[in-house]
Amino acid sequence: MNEPNPVSYHKIEVDGVNVFYRKAGNPEKPAILLLHGFPSASHMFRDLIPLLSDDYYLVAPDYPGFGQSDCPDRKSFPYTFHELSEIIETFTEKIGLDKFAMYVFDYGAPIGFRIAVRHPARITAIITQNGNVYREGLGKKWAAREEYWTHPTPELRKSYQVAFAPETIIDQYLTGTQEDRVAPDGYTLDIAYMSRPGIAEIQSDLIFDYQTNVAMYPVYQEYLRKYQPPLLAVWGKNDPSFIYPGAEAFKKDLLHAEIHLIDSGHFALETHAFEIAEYMKRFLEKKLE
């Protein structure tokens, strides 16, 4: 028996960069753009996509420097969140995504919200899973990062490369989850991607540029207040990086934000893909009908 909505895998050239993406579902159905986080890539959606592909058209790209997309030289390509958002925006246009809901996680939040601010009419709904746009959602580690942004030194830049170490990546996956619930596949692949030559400097550029995301929180919040997009927050409540008050903070700016805290950590899809898919189905059926 054939799989009714198989996932397919593609590359497309965007401003000189080959962007890898996976897709599934009928393009005539409502679209969802899935935006991954650090240190991962579109494979983080491998369990979620089949659960939604009967009813939605799902597209999940890898950003430049991540996953199977090109890693252009940082001397010619600026690794900033603005640049990544420009690439993903153009990517959506090239594949014909005129309007879409967006699922934003971790790094996907500042990338997706930049696109939303520039093109609010294109965004039909937002699903945020530990995708933060409030200071209330910043865990303890961010105070040290802000000190680094204010007083950067080569030594501090080097010290933050611990973020790409295998033990750190594994800890991101396991912290806040129930024992023996997280398969090793996701973090093993992330470790392989982060170990490639040149990736440490690329990722160090993005860690330093993350300060622009925090600076833009008021802009993202104004977008939410002005346009009131339908928003579902499904948040791993045990995430020490983007803590759950960041999910609850959406209620400050959105009259009808729907918030669900899940008993998981940062990579909540690793343990709760089915539960998150069910929340998404109920939410999107109401908001996109």
Residues that are catalytic? 266
How many CB atoms neighbour CB 152 within 10 A?
A: 12
Q: Dig out the tokens for 97 from the structure.
A: 């995504």
Q: Dig out the tokens for 92 from the structure.
A: 């959506």
In total, the chain counts a number of residues equal to: 289
To the nearest 10°, the Cα dihedral for 257, 258, 264, 268?
-80
| Residue environment code for 209-219, b if the CB has 16+ CB neighbours within 10 A, otherwise e | bbbebbebbee
